[in-house]
Structures are given as C-alpha cells and as structure tokens.
C-alpha cells in the first residue's frame, strides 16, 4: 500500500485514519490529544457509543478553544491598556523634563 506524501496514519479511539498535513509530529500530537479526550469522556458517561463520544468530545474541545480565545482576548485587552498607561506615563515624564 502506498501512502501519499505528508500523509500520516493515526489511531483515534481504536479507528485508524489517514491524515494529510505538513508536520507528522504535530498530526500525531493532535490525534493523541483527541484520542485521550475521547477515552477520558468514555470513563465519565454511561453510554459509550463512538458517535456520541465523538460529538461530546468535539463539544468539549470546542469549549476549551472558546475559553482560551476569551482568555487571550482578555489578556490582549489588558496588555493594550497597560501599554496605553505606560505611554501616558512616559509622555508626562518627557513633558516634565
């Protein structure tokens, strides 16, 4: 069997998938993360149907993403405000000298 260039074989929750991407190591890390999240969720819910687990895992990962984006936006806003404040302090200091 020949594989296309930049194609990696990954196993997620017992199923093998062919994933195409530039960085094989990155693909493996992401696939392992998804697999671990599915297995973690399987331990917490009673009905472990793979499709249900996949959907719930997707929702959990999307929630993580949205929370990280919110946090990044909050930190970016805080950094911009601090930068503006330092700019004001520096401007006032230069005017006084």
For the stretch 26-83, pLDDT in tens is 999 999 999 999 999 999 998 778 999 999 999 999 999 999 999 999 999 999 999 9
pLDDT tier at 97 (50, 70, 90 boundaries)?
confident
Percentage, residues of the chain above pLDDT 90: 79
Tell me which residue has tokens 């006032």. 92
Helix, strand, coil percentages, rounded to 5, for the chain: 70, 10, 20
Q: How many CB atoms are closer than 10 A to CB 37?
A: 19
Q: What is the DSSP letter of 40?
A: H
Phi, psi at 65, each rounded to 5°? -60, -50
Residues in the chain: 97
């Amino acid at each position: 069997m020949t594989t296309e260039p930049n194609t990696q074989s990954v196993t997620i929750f017992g199923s093998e998938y062919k994933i195409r991407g530039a960085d094989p190591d990155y693909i493996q890390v992401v696939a392992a993360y998804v697999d671990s999240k599915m297995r973690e969720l399987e331990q917490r819910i009673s009905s472990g149907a793979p499709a249900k687990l996949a959907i719930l895992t997707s929702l959990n990962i999307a929630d993580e993403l949205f929370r990280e984006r919110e946090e990044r936006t909050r930190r970016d806003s805080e950094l911009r405000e601090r930068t503006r404040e330092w700019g004001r302090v520096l401007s006032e200091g230069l005017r006084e000298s």
